[in-house]
Amino acid sequence: MKTPVCITATLMLVVANTTHSLGPDEFFKIPIEVVHGPVRPSTTSRWVHTLRKYGIASQHGVGTLGMLGHQQGHLVNVTNLARIPLVDYDFDREIDFDTGSSQFVISTKGCVHCSGSTHYDPATSKTFRANGRPWKVTYGDQSHAEGFLGHDIVTLDGIKVENQQLAMVTKESVGFDDIVDGIMGLAFGSLSTGIVGTRTVFENMMKQNLVDRGIFSFYLGKVSLNGGGEVIFGGLDMSRVEHGHKITYTPVIRAKYWQINVDNIYVDGKVILGGGGIGAGKKSSDVNFEGIMDTGTTLMIVPRKLAREIHRRIKGSQELASSWAVPCDLAVQNPGSKIELEIEGKRFGIPFEDLVREETIVDEGLCYSGIQTSSAKFMIIGDVFIKNNYVVFDQENKRVGIAPLRLEKRRDQGSQRKGVAKAVATK
């Protein structure tokens, strides 16, 4: 006898538990624990992954990665189809509900060459409905994936989100992606312009009155401290905000991505933008400093000119072809130094220590930077920023809220737990 499938049991590794809510509003609070993989994905692979996701051309020796437009069926806008690992194989990348995409994409049982370890089997679900529409995406490096669309119930600890559209992967090319099971997109459903009436899981939560407030919030804990993290659907937790600070809200420029304006950028307290061009004033006419807040991106990726201006203010940084590297001992040599984004008159930081990634093969003293470059005229603000700041996504009012994160105290390495992702839903 077929039984209803709990997609989150396979995709998000849910462990059912019940806790008390943090306030008068009802919401779903989903804590995250980290699974350490044996190898940290390279900065280049994370960089390429993001450029492919946004259809941006790459010029760093791996070919042009823009979209070729080989879509089939009704899934026309496929730049939101990048698929993100749902376990942490990248140290400070937590379980990634993806605010940079809008589709719920999952690998299916029997998929040819699909990566990941847990695949969805629609045949086991009596509530699954296929709609017969195929989709296919081909990237500029000829990697591709294809499948079909359908609907099912998504369950979070017994709380059911009904009629959720799924983009199911039945076949993908070797090298299409890395360690992947699927993605839960949390951008605006309007991003998927080729599918009329597409709603994200959270938009369906709102429509089905499963949450009282149309907001969700992210805390990504650093593994170097206590690790873990949480996403809250329907509320926020002010105890995660640094004492004495409030949430600063800024409007979404266009309700597809979580795209906002960034007023100024500082390196170690010195302004790059502001008053007369990069380094001296009004913004340069060839660069648009809008930024997309993207929990599904590891790095911060910025226009080339801005990347150059940032790194030339970091002593010892070097440009390697079109990538950037910083001294591996950057934080030791510059304690307390940081990059800051100014938004609505408030500054939000990235400590220098979070710019240091894996060592390059060029110089044993050089490590790849957490800030890389692209040909686009907008910024992609990924986890290197989000893990230092509490971020609220206000879907009802189309705005993003940011506050400095209250960082947990560092604990002994030996006491750090290793486990699977856990989710706790409270209604």
**CA-to-CA separations, 64 to 27, 47, 51, 77, 317, in angstroms, rounded:** 43, 13, 10, 19, 26
| Spatial distance between the Cα atoms of 228 and 238, rounded to a whole number of angstroms | 17
Q: Do 35 and 85 touch, CB atoms closer than 8 A?
A: no
What is the rounded CA–CA span in Å between residue 166 and residue 150? 5
Q: Which of 88, 90, 92, 98 is labelled catalytic?
A: 98
98 is catalytic: yes
The Cβ of residue 39 has, within 10 Å, a number of other Cβ atoms equal to 10
SS (H, E, C) the chain: CCCCCCHHHHHCCCCCCCCCCCCCCCCEEEEECCCCCCCCCCHHHHHHHHHHHCCCCCCCCCCCCCECCCCEECCCCCCCCCCCCCCCCCCCCCCCCECCCCCEEEEEEEEECCCCCCCECHHHCCCCEEEEEEEEEEECCCCEEEEEEEEEEEEECCEEEEEEEEEEEEEECCCCCCCCCEEEECCCHHHCCCCCCCCCHHHHHHHCCCCCCCEEEEEECCCCCCCCEEEEECCCCHHHECCCCCCEEEECCCECCEEEECCEEEECCEECCECCCCCCECCCCCCCCEEEECCCCCCEEEEHHHHHHHHCCCCCCEEECCEEEEECCHHHHCCCCEEEEEECCEEEEEEHHHHEEEECCCCCCEEEECEEEECCCEEEECHHHHCCEEEEEECCCCEEEEEEECCCCCCCHHHCCCCCCCCCCCC
Count of C-beta atoms within a 10 Å radius of residue 41: 19
Q: Is 294 a catalytic residue?
A: yes
Out of 90, 141, 294, 394, the active site residue is: 294
Going by C-beta distance under 8 Å and a sequence separation of 6 or more, which residues neighbour residue 60? 44, 47, 321, 322, 323
Q: Which residues are catalytic?
A: 98, 294
